[in-house]
Amino acid sequence: MGYVIDPPRQATLPIEGTEATFPIRRIYCIGRNYADHAIEMGHDPDREPPFFFQKNPDNVDVSGDFIYPPHTSDVHHEIEMIVALKSGGRNISLDDALSHVYGYGVGLDMTRRDLQGQMKKMGRPWEIGKAFEHSAPMGPLVPAEKIGHPDAGRVELKVNGDTRQTGDLNQMIWKVPEMINYLSEYYELAAGDLIMSGTPAGVAAVTKGDVMVGTVEGVGEISITVV
């Protein structure tokens, strides 16, 4: 028996230096994981429990373009390190967490900030602000076998050559093993899951024609044009 419609395309990420690709299952994104960004969004950076939202696998765009979305006039960049899982499970211990990581990448959590703000005010879900077409521009993954597990290094985003966001992976409130541990207590993690690990301060709007160059030291660089 076949499908009654053509099956949807499997979302994938390229792997640096190979022809093989990484199939994406789910995308978990942590909110307010750098203290200075929590403050700029009007929140207390104290270590309250982490919270996550999701983007859809098919929101990932590796084309190098970001297509400006509809029904917004305030689209923000959020530069983030991406964590890609090669295995998963429930109740993963802190000590075991990094053994589930395939590799790391650089991505953008593009956000319709105006719509997200309206939803926050009304106590409604964030998807309309976060999980829209092309909202997750990403570069290739780099295997942990090659670069290890980065826990420090400069995180930066420039727009048209001007520095907008800067931070360091060592400023994360919730570290990668802690995010994996926490998520695995609420969900069953699995191979193919991505975690977007949060953004440092300096989020701001983009307009068509802008070129966003994001780097995570020790992981890579992406260049994305707003079209």
Q: Which residues bind Mn ion (CB under 5 A)?
A: 78, 109, 199
How near is the Cβ of 29 to Mn ion at its closest, in Å? 5
Task: Tell me whether residue 191 or residue 213 sits nearer to Mn ion (CB atom).
Answer: 213
For residues 35 and 21, give the distance between their C-alpha atoms in angstroms, rounded to a whole number: 34
Task: Give min distance, CB of 31 to Mn ion, in A.
Answer: 7
Is 165 or 199 the residue whose CB approaches Mn ion more closely? 199
Name which of 77, 43, 31, 65 is nearest 195 in CA terms.
31
Least distance CB 30 / Mn ion (angstroms): 7
Compute how many other C-beta atoms are within 10 angstroms of the C-beta atom of residue 65: 13
Phi, psi of 184 (to 5 degrees): -70, -10
Of residues 15 and 202, the one with the C-beta less far from Mn ion: 202
**Rounded Cα gap, residues 90 and 76, in angstroms:** 33
**CB closer to Mn ion, 135 vs 199:** 199
Q: What is the C-alpha to C-alpha distance for residues 26 and 82, in angstroms, rounded to an integer?
A: 12
Helix (H) or strand (E) holding 81: strand 79-85
Q: Is residue 68 exposed (0-12), middle (13-18) or buried (19+ Cβ within 10 Å)?
A: middle
Least distance in angstroms from the C-beta of 80 to Mn ion = 6
Residue nearest Mn ion, CB atom distance: 109
109 vs 193, which CB is nearer to Mn ion?
Answer: 109
Query: C-beta of 99: minimal distance to Mn ion in Å?
Result: 25
